[in-house]
Amino acid sequence: MRARRFPLVLDRVGGVTTTAKGVPRSAQQARRPLRDAAEYATREQSPLGLGLDSQVVRARMVERLRSDGAVCEPVLVALAAVPRHRFVDSALVAQAYEDTALPIGLGQTISKPSVVARMLELLFEGRAAAVRGSLGRVLEIGTGCGYQAAVLSLLAQQVISLERLRPLYDRARDNLAALRRDNLRLVYGDGRLGHAPNAPYDAIICAAGGDDVPAAWLEQLAIGGRLVAPMRSDFDAGQVLLVVDRSVDGWSRQCHEAVQFVPLRSGIA
């Protein structure tokens, strides 16, 4: 008998036929991020001999984030559920729960837990999330190693995650295999173009810094939706977290704290 395949949906832009089936988007699914996170945390307890699989280790990371000002409970619960050490190189697992960015190859990094928490918190403050009780349909630009996509899958109705670098796309696919989430789709493609087939999105989040928000993202953001991305500041050469909200009247922008992300690039490689 053929083994049952992991239900994570894989895709590629550019005319390649997808293996995806429709992803359920019921209101019930949209409102169960805390329950899903709890179920996943319970499932993810296989000892590795590293002292990192315990929920206690992740709980300590979350308590540090909380003491530093993180207040969005669904985000904190999801961060406590996802084993970050499974998404970093084996030589760096001892640093997995420190508040630091870590290299994942090809000049890319896994973001600091505090930055992930802050960006997701900003998404949750958007109007669509307040109405739904979850992030709804999310577009993530820059899958990287897959860590943030894993967290998002516990907070959203559906997650479409784009990665332009094939080795990282493949790595994320492998890293996410144990998650077994049917609401998560990986797409190999140019993130600057977004992903029109599943638009509009209630939330868009980017893990790379650019000079300005690509027009495709603005068009693919739903009315009532919110976008969070690191972008160049108008006041200096650095990056800030930019929040864009879309209403029936257009788009409004807010700049938040300074950050430092890898550059946002076009094309696939």
For 167-193, what is the mean pLDDT?
A: 96
For 160-183, what is the mean pLDDT?
A: 95
Catalytic site residue 111?
Answer: yes
pLDDT of residue 138: 98
**Full set of structural domains in the chain with CATH:** 9-14+25-259 (3.40.50.150)
Distance of CA 97 to the CA centre of its chain: 17
Q: 3-class DSSP state for residue 188? A: strand
Count of C-beta atoms within a 10 Å radius of residue 149? 32
pLDDT per residue as tens digits for the range 143-152: 999 999 999 9
Residue 35 corresponds to which tokens in the numbers above?
Answer: 């329950």
Pairing status of strand 201-206 against strand 184-188: unpaired
Q: 3-class DSSP state for residue 144? A: coil
pLDDT per residue as tens digits for the range 188-215: 999 999 999 999 999 999 999 999 999 9
Count of C-beta atoms within a 10 Å radius of residue 207? 27
Residue holding tokens 């029936």?
Answer: 248
Among 208, 170, 191, 220, smallest CA distance to 10 is for 170
For 66-85, what is the mean pLDDT?
A: 97
pLDDT per residue as tens digits for the range 123-156: 999 988 888 889 999 999 999 999 999 999 999 9
Active-site entry in 54, 67, 111, 266: 111
